[in-house]
Chain A
């Protein structure tokens, strides 16, 4: 790919987490029986009057602020006219020439580099319905079934600048964007429920050229990995075309997850002539500075600010930082624990390691965990003081995770306190040395690794309760 430069821009649709729809009071609950959350406004029956959901506007403002956008004071809605079965009114209420917000950016971190990806615009619009096709996919299906429960759920469309230069950057942009939206809580961003979706535009050009190549739009990208894979496939496909002296055709291509390819997708009647006009049933929305500031006050500390703090204040590696801030609750748990036990790297190891493992196994969220920051800090302190070994600490954490018991009680009940009594350990050490002459000889012949085996034997004999540091010292002293 060194001959060409890849240019990527992404359009992300995120459903806002309102309880009711954008222009009517139908519920937005996911997973209801088909067409049970539908009313005359959703269906566009004659004589209905849509009325705007205030919460949706506030969520959109909040998202726009979190993405560093300027909010437009004067907003109106427009009708985007097209015929498609998932759109019962035959128009979508959207925003055309006056989007809610413009000129934002997202900061991404890829391969140790920091980069800003511009956001062109964010606008508010309504969701379409959901089609279930009779065949495996839309192509060749004899008929489709339409469920309009989703019709009218509020969406924001976030259009990026063509600032990404690789599929990996596109992936990082998406995960960062999702994280920001989840921090603010304006969207739950569940791709599997369709509440976050992405279309990608990609073109390539010879390195050094400043003119954009012909772009292709990719659809049917059902996960962030799918976005990355489809973009990787597409940049190769376009490079092959150019290498052969052929041209890239401007078109929409459909990603096929099973074959790992994109293929051309022409709708029966391709009419990119939406004949937008102002929606006459809705009055303009004027967003005052006071309103914007009121929403701004509600913003939590955002992932990028956390990122900077975790790397610079706590001195955490970028890898740990990325992982911990990828979940707001986890980041808050981490910070609460560090407040109680000021050793960020050790806390991070426990949070990313054992705690994450236990959460995954039980399917719990960190906020539901019986292991609170207090419990984790206590367990780490017990290790620090030498009361229990690292191995025993894992047992204590797991037990506390399951039962909610106090770590000190668990240590007592299970007899996990470390043996740091030299006299007692010396006895075991002597036994182990006597029982393992081969390892002893290996060690004396310069195989330093043999000591590890002997330490292991002592740990085994003491059921993991020996203080490994002390055992190591005692063994070395004896064997010299």
Chain B
């Protein structure tokens, strides 16, 4: 069972601001998801390798060849407060 406090904590880590009603709703929904997952856990997986990827592919590489990057005005196009070619961000530490 996931608690409302845990939902709050995860929301905080993800910088999400939730209303009390949303915390209620998401707690309930997340518990439903976890219940479904619990059902899957009943399967005997003793001899099954852990699966991190569903796609049966491995060793996909690119060669080490640099190519031109994006023009800087495009890089900064979504920046709310650029300065001298940088992304300006508010105070990091108090």
Contacts and interface: CB of A to CB of B under 8 A. Distances in A.
A283 B62 contact: no
Given A20-B64, A142-B91, 19 more contacts: A20-B66, A26-B67, A26-B69, A28-B66, A34-B86, A36-B85, A38-B75, A39-B69, A52-B60, A54-B61, A81-B13, A85-B89, A131-B92, A139-B93, A141-B92, A143-B88, A147-B86, A283-B53, A284-B52
A278 interface: yes
A43 B88 CA distance: 15
Interface of B: 10, 12-13, 15, 52-53, 55, 57-67, 69-70, 72, 75-76, 83-94
Contact of B85 (A34, A43, A52, A271): A34
7 contacts: A18-B64, A36-B75, A37-B69, A40-B70, A132-B86, A278-B53, A283-B57
A280 B53 contact: yes
A301 B74 CA distance: 47
B92 A27 contact: no
Contacts of A171: none
B53, B75, B76 — which one has the most chain A CB atoms within 10 A of its CB? B75
A144 interface: yes
Given A25-B66, A35-B85, A275-B13, A51 B90 contact: no
Interface in A123-179: 131-133, 138-148
A247 interface: no
Contacts of B75: 35-36, 38, 43, 148
Nearest to A133: B92
Nearest to A21: B66
A36 B72 contact: yes
Nearest to A36: B72
Nearest to B51: A278
A53 interface: yes
A88 B86 CA distance: 13
A144 B63 contact: no
Interface in A271-303: 271, 273, 275, 278, 280, 282-286
A410 interface: no
Contacts of A26: 66-67, 69
A85 B63 CA distance: 30
A283 B53 CA distance: 7
Nearest to A49: B60
A419 to B, nearest CB: 61
Interface residues of A, number: 57
Nearest to B67: A25
B62 A25 contact: yes
B89 A143 contact: yes
A18 B72 CA distance: 23
A148 to B, nearest CB: 7
B53, B61, B65, B69 — which one has the most chain A CB atoms within 10 A of its CB? B69
A19 B66 CA distance: 6
Nearest to B62: A51
A284 B58 contact: yes
A57 interface: yes
Contacts of A133: 92
A83 B53 CA distance: 26
A55 B64 CA distance: 6
A132 B92 CA distance: 11
A245 to B, nearest CB: 31
Given A35-B85, A144-B89, A271-B13, A286 B58 contact: yes
A252 B27 CA distance: 34
A45 to B, nearest CB: 8
A271 B61 CA distance: 33
Given A131-B92, A138-B92, A53 B66 contact: no
Contacts of B12: 271
A244 interface: no
Interface in A245-275: 265, 267-268, 271, 273, 275
Given A26-B66, A28-B66, A34-B86, A284 B53 contact: yes
Contact of B87 (A25, A145, A265, A278): A145
Interface string A344-359: 0000000000000000
Contact of A53 (B58, B59, B62): B62
B61 A57 contact: yes
Contacts of B65: 19-20, 25
Contact of B92 (A76, A85, A88): A85
A143 B79 CA distance: 14
Nearest to B76: A35
A147 B69 CA distance: 14
A20 B67 CA distance: 8
Nearest to A56: B64
Contacts of A56: 64
A193 interface: no
A368 interface: no
A382 B3 CA distance: 86
A111 interface: no
Nearest to B63: A54
Contacts of B87: 35, 85, 88, 145-146, 148
Contacts of A51: 60-62
Interface in A1-55: 18-20, 25-29, 33-40, 43, 51-55
A271 B87 CA distance: 24
